[in-house]
C-alpha cells in the first residue's frame, strides 16, 4: 500500500514538473534567434511590471526578443500563452480587413464627441477633432469611427445578403492575418486567441446584429489575441502582406521557411501604414517620434476589471523595416503612457545596437517605474464554444 502511495506521489510530482516545465522562456545562445542585447534591455524595462515584450525581424520571422515578466509568480510565458483584448491595436487589422471587403473609403467621415450614443448604448472616446476620415481616425484611434464602420459593415445587406456571411468572411480575413489560431511558433503552450465567427456569435448571443457586437470594431468584445500575434501582425504590415511563422530556433525546419500571405488586398497596406505613421507624427503616440528613423505604431488600452492594460504594436523603419515590436503591460494604463515609450527604446536598440545617452537615461527611469498589479482578466478560452 505504502509502495503504491509513493508511486502515486512520484507520478503526481512528475505530472506537476511536466506541467510547470511546459512553459518555456527561451534565452539567447547559439541555438536561438534571440539577441542578448534586446533581451537584457527588455528585462530591464519590464522590471517591477507584469507583461511581455516581443520583437520580430519581419523579413525572416526570427524572434529577436521575447521577455515575459510576472509579479504573481504564475510561471506563464505571457508573450505566447496569455490572451487579452487587443484594444485599439486591433484597428490596424480592422482597417486591412474592412478595406479589402469594400466597407471603408478614404473620404467617409464619422462624427465623434468623446464617443457617441446609439440606442442608449454609449461608446466612449477621448477628445479630438471631429469628424475624422480613415487616416486620422487610425492616428487618433477613434472608437466612434471603428465601431460605426464595423456596425455598418455587419448590417449592410447590399454588401452581403446575410449577416452570417459578412462576419464569416470578416473572420476569414482576420485569421489570414495570423489571429484567432496558434501561429505555430516552435515553443510549447501557444494560445489560439479568438476571432468570433457567425457560429460562435449565435451560441454566445442568440440574436445579434451590428449594434450588439459593435465593440468588436474597436478590439473589445469577444476578440482575444496573444502579444505574439500582435507582433506578427506588425510584421505582416511591415512586409505589406506576408509573414514567416515566428521562430526562436536558429535551425528551423521547413515549416518556418514558407511564406504565408494574408488575404487583405495590396492597396490596404499603404493606408494602414499611413495611419500608423500618423499616430506617431501627430496622433496617440507622438511622444515617441524621432528623427533617427520613421516609426509606424498603434497604441491600445484594453479594458480590464482592474486597471486597464497598456499596449503598443509597431515597426520601423517605415520603408525598409528591420524590426516589428509588441509591448503589453498589464494594468499599465493608456498605451501611450507606458507601452509606447518602452517599445521605442526596443526599436532604438534593435536598429542602432545601442541607446543614445538620453534614451539610456529614460530606460533607467522606466526600470524604476513600478506598476501595481490589480485584477487581471482571466484567460478566456473560446475554443470549446
Residues interacting with Zn ion, by CB under 5 A? 112, 125, 142, 144
Q: How far is the CB of 142 from Zn ion (least distance, A)?
A: 3
Q: How far is the CB of 131 from Zn ion (least distance, A)?
A: 9
Which C-beta is closer to Zn ion: that of 138 or that of 187? 138
Annotate 336-356 with b (16+ C-beta within 10 A) or e (fewer): bebbbbbbbbbbbbbbeeebe
Q: Which of 300, 316, 276 is nearest to 134 (CA)?
A: 276
Q: How far is the CB of 116 from Zn ion (least distance, A)?
A: 8
Q: How far is the CB of 122 from Zn ion (least distance, A)?
A: 12
Which C-beta is closer to Zn ion: that of 193 or that of 283? 283
Max CA separation in the chain (angstroms): 78
Q: How far is the CB of 130 from Zn ion (least distance, A)?
A: 7
Which C-beta is closer to Zn ion: that of 146 or that of 269? 146
Which C-beta is closer to Zn ion: that of 111 or that of 365? 111
| Long-range pairs of 38-44 with CB within 8 A, sequence gap ≥ 24 | 38/64, 38/65, 38/346, 38/349, 38/350, 39/65, 39/66, 39/67, 41/345, 41/346, 41/349, 41/355, 41/363, 42/67, 42/346, 43/67, 43/69, 44/363, 44/366, 44/367
Which C-beta is closer to Zn ion: that of 126 or that of 175? 126
- Alpha-helix residue ranges (DSSP H) falling in 142-217: 143-155, 163-176, 198-205
Q: How far is the CB of 134 from Zn ion (least distance, A)?
A: 13
Distance CA 382, CA 385 (A): 5
Which C-beta is closer to Zn ion: that of 83 or that of 301? 301
Amino acid at each position: 500500500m505504502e509502495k503504491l502511495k509513493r508511486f502515486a506521489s512520484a507520478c503526481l510530482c512528475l505530472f506537476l514538473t511536466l506541467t510547470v516545465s511546459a512553459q518555456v522562456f527561451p534565452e539567447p545562445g547559439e541555438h536561438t534567434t534571440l539577441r542578448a542585447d534586446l533581451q537584457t534591455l527588455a528585462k530591464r524595462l519590464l522590471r517591477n511590471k507584469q507583461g511581455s515584450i516581443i520583437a520580430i525581424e519581419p523579413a525572416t520571422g526570427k524572434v529577436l526578443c521575447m521577455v515575459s515578466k510576472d509579479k504573481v509568480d504564475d510561471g506563464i510565458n505571457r508573450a505566447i500563452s496569455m490572451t487579452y483584448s487587443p484594444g485599439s491595436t486591433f484597428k490596424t487589422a480592422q482597417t486591412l480587413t474592412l478595406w479589402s471587403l469594400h466597407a471603408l473609403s478614404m473620404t467617409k467621415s464619422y462624427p465623434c464627441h468623446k464617443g457617441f450614443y446609439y440606442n442608449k448604448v454609449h461608446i466612449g472616446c477621448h477628445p479630438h477633432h471631429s469628424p475624422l476620415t480613415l487616416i486620422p481616425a487610425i492616428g487618433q484611434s477613434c472608437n466612434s469611427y471603428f465601431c460605426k464602420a464595423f456596425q455598418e459593415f455587419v448590417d449592410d445587406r447590399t454588401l452581403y445578403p446575410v449577416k452570417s456571411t459578412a462576419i464569416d468572411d470578416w473572420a476569414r480575413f482576420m485569421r489570414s492575418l495570423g489571429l484567432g489560431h496558434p501561429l505555430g511558433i516552435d515553443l510549447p503552450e501557444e494560445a489560439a486567441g479568438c476571432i468570433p465567427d457567425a457560429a460562435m456569435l449565435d451560441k454566445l448571443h442568440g440574436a445579434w446584429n451590428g449594434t450588439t457586437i459593435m465593440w468588436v470594431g474597436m478590439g473589445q468584445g469577444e476578440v482575444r489575441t496573444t502579444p505574439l500575434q500582435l507582433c506578427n501582425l506588425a510584421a505582416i504590415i511591415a512586409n505589406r502582406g506576408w509573414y514567416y511563422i515566428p521562430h526562436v530556433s536558429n535551425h528551423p525546419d521547413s515549416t518556418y521557411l514558407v511564406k504565408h500571405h494574408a488575404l487583405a488586398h495590396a492597396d490596404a497596406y499603404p493606408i494602414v501604414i499611413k495611419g500608423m505613421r500618423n499616430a506617431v507624427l501627430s496622433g496617440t503616440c507622438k511622444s515617441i517620434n524621432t528623427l533617427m528613423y520613421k516609426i509606424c505604431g498603434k497604441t491600445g488600452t484594453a479594458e480590464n476589471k482592474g486597471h486597464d492594460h497598456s499596449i503598443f504594436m509597431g515597426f520601423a523603419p517605415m520603408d525598409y523595416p528591420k524590426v516589428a515590436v509588441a509591448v503589453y503591460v498589464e494594468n499599465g494604463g493608456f498605451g501611450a503612457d507606458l507601452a509606447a515609450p518602452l517599445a521605442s527604446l526596443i526599436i532604438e536598440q534593435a536598429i542602432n545596437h545601442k541607446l543614445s545617452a538620453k534614451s539610456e537615461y529614460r530606460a533607467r527611469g522606466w526600470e524604476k517605474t513600478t506598476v501595481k498589479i490589480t485584477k487581471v482578466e482571466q484567460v478566456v478560452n473560446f475554443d470549446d464554444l
